[in-house]
Amino acid sequence: MASPDDPRRNHLLAALLDAEYDRLAPHLEPIAMPLGDVLYESGGKLSHVYFPTTAIVSLHYVLENGGSSEIAGVGNEGVLGIALFMGGDTTPSRAVVQTGGGGYRLRSHVLVEEFNRAGAVMRLLLRYTQALLTQMAQTAVCNRHHSVEQQLCRWLLLTLDRLPTNELTMTQELIAGMLGVRREGVTEAAGRLQGYGYISYRRGHITVLDREGLEADVCECYQVVRTEFARLMSDVRQRSA
Domains and CATH numbers, the chain: 7-120 (2.60.120.10), 147-218 (1.10.10.10)
Between 65 and 138, the higher pLDDT residue: 138
| Residue 58 confidence (pLDDT) above 70 | yes
Contact 136, 72 (CB under 8 A): yes
pLDDT at 64: 76
* Residue 193 CB burial class (10 angstroms; 0-12, 13-18, ≥19): buried
Say which residues have a Cβ less than 8 Å from residue 51's Cβ, sequence separation at least 6: 7, 10, 12, 13, 28, 78, 79, 80, 103, 104, 105, 106
CA distance 81 to 91: 8
Mean pLDDT of the region 75-79:
95
Answer whether residue 220 shows pLDDT above 90: yes
Task: Work out the pLDDT band at 239, boundaries 50, 70, 90.
Answer: very low
Distant-in-sequence, close-in-space partners of 123: CB < 8 Å, separation ≥ 6: 236, 239, 240
Q: What is the reported pTM? A: 0.89
pLDDT in tens, 195-206: 999 999 887 789
For the chain, where are the E strands, in sequence order? 29-33, 38-40, 48-52, 56-62, 68-74, 93-99, 101-107, 167-169, 199-202, 205-208
